[in-house]
Amino acid sequence: MSLASADTLPGEFAFTDADFEALARLARSEYGLSLASSKKPLVYSRLARRLRARGLATFRDYMSLLDRAEEAAERLELVSALTTNVTSFFREKHHFETLRSALVPELATQKRIRIWSAGCSSGQEPFSIAMTLLDGLPPGARDMRILATDIDPAILRKARAGRHPAEECATVPDEFRARWLRPVPGEPDLVEMGAELKALVSFAELNLICDWPFAGPFDAIFCRNVAIYFDQETQQRLWSRFADKLRAGGFLFIGHSERLSGTALPEFETAGVTTYRKRATPGPARPT
C-alpha cells in the first residue's frame, strides 16, 4: 500500500502544497482572505464539494476553471466556501445597546441618517439595526437608509427575501416581534420581516477590498467578524477606509475577536467593547 507524499493530503482528490498555495494567492489578491497553511485540511474539505459539483478531477483543474473570465460565479462560490456566514438577530447585544443609548438620541435631531452593515450575511444584522432605530426614534419625516453589503450573491438573495426560520427569531425582543415580524402564509416555520423594516434596508453586492461606489458619510458602520479573514495589512487598510466614510462622532462596531490597529487608531476613541467613535480631531499617532 502506497502512502501519499508529505505535501499531499490523502483523500478523494490530490491536494498538494502547491495547489493550496495557488488557492491562497488567489484568495488574498482577489478578496483579501488570509489562508494560513494550518487551514489546508479545512480548505480541502470545503472545496472538494466544488470539485464534485463541477465534475472536476483535480485541484489544478479547479484553478484553471477559476481563471476563466466567464467563471465569476464560481469565484464567488470559492469565497462562500472559504468563509462562514454565522449571524443572528441582535448578536453581540452590547452593540445594539450602544446604538440605542449613545447614537439614537443624536440621530433624533437629524433629517438624514445613514448606517452601513458591511458583511451583512443573511440580513439579521441590518434588520436588527432597523428595529433599534424605529423603536428609539420619535415619529417624524427622515431620509433614513441602512446600506447592507456582502460579497456573496447567494446569501444576499436570502437577505433580500427577509424570511427566517421562526426559531432564529427567538433573540428578537417580544415587543419587536409583535410590531414588525409577520407569519408567512402556508409556511408555519417561517417568519418574514415587515414592510417597514424592508423599506429601510438596501442590499448590495460588494467586495470590501475593491472600490466602494458610494460617498457617505455614515453615522455608524457595523463590520463584525469580517476582518478576521484578512491579514493585518488588509485589516489596517480597511479600518482607515471606514474612518474616511464616517462622520465625526460616528461609530464603528467590529467583531468580538477583532481589534482596531494601524494608522486608523488616532482617528478613533474607544466607546465600549469592540466599539469605537470617530474623533472630531485625530489624536496623536500611537504605535501599532
The model's pLDDT over 140-164, given as tens digits with 9 standing for 90+, comes to 878 999 999 999 888 999 999 999 9
Spot the catalytic one: 19, 91, 114, 150.
150
Residue 4 to residues 161, 176, 204, Cα–Cα distance (Å): 46, 56, 44
End-to-end C-alpha distance for the chain, whole angstroms? 52
pLDDT in tens, 105-132: 999 999 999 999 999 999 999 999 999 9
Q: Are the C-beta atoms of residues 90 and 128 closer than 8 Å to each other?
A: yes
Distances (CA, A) of 278 to 208, 221, 263: 20, 11, 13
Query: Is 241 in the active site?
Result: no
Question: Torsions phi, psi of 158, nearest 5?
Answer: -65, -40
pLDDT at residue 3 is higher than 50: no
Q: Provide the whole-model pTM.
A: 0.86
Provide the grid cell at 211: 472600490
With contact defined as beta carbons under 8 Å apart, do 67 and 74 qualify?
no
SS3 114: strand
DSSP category for residue 177: H
Q: What is the pLDDT of residues 158-189, one digit of tens each?
A: 999 999 999 999 999 999 999 999 999 999 89
% of the chain at pLDDT higher than 70: 93
Q: pLDDT band for position 283 (50/70/90)?
A: low
- Helices and strands counted in the chain (H then E): 11, 12
Residue 46 bears catalytic tag: yes
Give me the residue label for grid cell 470559492: 78
SS3 content of the chain, % helix, strand, coil (to 5): 45, 20, 30
Catalytic annotation, pick one of 17, 28, 46, 179: 46
Residue partners of 61: CB distance under 8 A and separation at least 6: 51
Report CA dihedral (34, 271, 104, 199) to the nearest 10 degrees.
0
The bridge status of strand 201-205 relative to strand 143-150 is parallel
